[in-house]
């Protein structure tokens, strides 16, 4: 679908441009930008949210992959000399290079087709982040905020909650976008913990345990983690080996990972797998 800027939304970039003024205002109010904040927007698109933030914070920086949108943004915001555009793929972008005197505040209407790997990428850089506000598919927000026992509980939620406080804010219907997506959206706030509530002795070990468990989420723990821990080891931690991966909380996964870190017997495959 074309628009007044002459740019057609591209399916391969997962583009759905926000146009509803009421939703835009509500998002910006939730972000609550300040003039001296170090704000970075991912995927500004045609600049709907960008425009509102720039009016408050002229130092805004954006990361945009679609090279055809760059001249649109430069033309639209030519009167903001401090506005910076980084033509790059957010999935591989080093956000730490943008840090100056303040931690980053990251915002964005994230493409649904890359939202999960992008969130994992950003979590790996959470040490330089003050907070993050994202528009995501509603189901992804539900997964981020899920607790043990929920159908949506899995690897994404556990690792997000390891690094951040997750706060779902409000839902957004398809009509707020052009073209309208076939799914509902939601806004979520992620605030990195100042101190990790359950710090793991070795992060990679924790990631491997969680990844392995949810790769076999319908099996019991004794089977899902059979290549990593014994039934006796699980029982020594007070963990019922007959439970399923979705029944364990973050603290339990950290305890399993710490046991493996202490024994040095981690044998999990380190390849990325889905937690769907």
**One domain, residues 39 and 19:** yes
Query: Model confidence over 150-180: pLDDT tens digits?
Result: 999 999 999 999 999 999 999 998 877 777 7
Q: pLDDT at residue 7 above 70?
A: no
- Inter-axis angle of helices 203-214 and 155-163, to 10 degrees? 160
Asked if residue 274 belongs to a domain, the reply is no
Neighbours of 217 (CB within 10 A): 15
Tell me the three state secondary structure of residue 250. helix
Q: pLDDT at residue 273 above 90?
A: no
**One domain, residues 30 and 93:** yes
What is the spatial distance between Cα 176 and Cα 167, in angstroms, rounded to a whole number? 21
Query: Model confidence over 111-151: pLDDT tens digits?
Result: 878 899 999 999 999 999 999 999 999 999 999 999 999 99
Segment among 8-17, 171-180, 243-252 with least mean pLDDT: 8-17
**One domain, residues 138 and 233:** no
pLDDT mean across residues, the chain: 88
Task: Give the bridge partners for 168, in sequence order.
Answer: 188
Report the percent of the chain where pLDDT is more than 70.
Answer: 89
DSSP letter string, 158-181: HHHHHHEEEEEEEEE-GGGEESPP
**One domain, residues 27 and 98:** yes
Asked if residue 76 belongs to a domain, the reply is yes
**Given 138, 170, 192, which residue is the final one in a domain?**
192
Question: Domain of 185: which CATH number?
Answer: 3.40.50.150
Question: Domain of 214: which CATH number?
Answer: 1.10.8.100
Region 195-217: what's the mean pLDDT? 96
- Total domain count for the chain? 2
pTM: 0.87
- pLDDT confidence tier of residue 19, bands split at 50, 70 and 90: confident
What is the spatial distance between Cα 45 and Cα 64, in angstroms, rounded to a whole number? 8
Region 193-209: what's the mean pLDDT? 96
**One domain, residues 208 and 178:** no
| pLDDT, position 11 | 40
- pLDDT confidence tier of residue 243, bands split at 50, 70 and 90: very high
What is the spatial distance between Cα 111 and Cα 164, in angstroms, rounded to a whole number? 21
**One domain, residues 19 and 113:** yes
Owning domain of residue 215: 203-263
DSSP 97: G
**One domain, residues 211 and 253:** yes
Asked if residue 166 belongs to a domain, the reply is yes
**One domain, residues 129 and 256:** no
**One domain, residues 232 and 131:** no
Query: Is residue 156 exposed (0-12), middle (13-18) or buried (19+ Cβ within 10 Å)?
Result: buried
Region 40-56: what's the mean pLDDT? 94
Edge-to-edge strands of the sheet including 104-109?
A: 84-87, 61-64, 38-42, 104-109, 129-137, 185-192, 164-172
Asked if residue 114 belongs to a domain, the reply is yes
């Amino acid at each position: 679908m074309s628009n007044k800027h002459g740019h057609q939304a591209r399916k391969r970039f997962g583009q759905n441009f926000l146009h509803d003024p009421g939703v835009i205002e509500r998002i910006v109010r939730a972000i609550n930008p300040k003039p001296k904040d170090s704000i970075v927007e991912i995927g500004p698109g045609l600049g709907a949210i960008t425009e509102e933030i720039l009016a408050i914070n002229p130092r805004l920086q954006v990361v945009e992959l679609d090279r055809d949108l760059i001249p649109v943004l430069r033309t639209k915001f030519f009167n903001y000399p401090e506005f910076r555009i980084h033509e790059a793929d957010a999935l591989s972008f080093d956000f730490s290079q943008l840090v100056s005197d303040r931690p980053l505040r990251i915002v964005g209407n994230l493409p649904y087709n890359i939202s999960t790997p992008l969130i994992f990428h950003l979590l790996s850089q959470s040490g330089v982040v003050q907070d993050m506000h994202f528009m995501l598919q509603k189901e992804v927000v539900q997964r981020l905020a899920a607790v043990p026992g929920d159908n949506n509980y899995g690897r994404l939620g556990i690792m997000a909650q390891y690094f951040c406080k997750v706060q779902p804010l409000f839902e957004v219907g398809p009509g707020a976008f052009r073209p309208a997506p076939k799914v509902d959206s939601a806004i979520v706030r992620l605030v990195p913990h100042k101190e990790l509530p359950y710090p793991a002795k070795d992060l990679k070990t924790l990631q491997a345990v969680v990844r392995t468990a949810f790769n076999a989420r319908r099996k019991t723990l004794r089977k899902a983690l059979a290549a990593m821990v014994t039934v006796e080891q699980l029982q020594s931690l007070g963990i019922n080996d007959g439970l399923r991966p979705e029944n364990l909380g973050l603290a339990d996964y950290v305890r399993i990972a710490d046991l493996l870190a202490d024994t040095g017997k981690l044998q999990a495959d380190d390849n990325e797998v889905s937690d769907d």
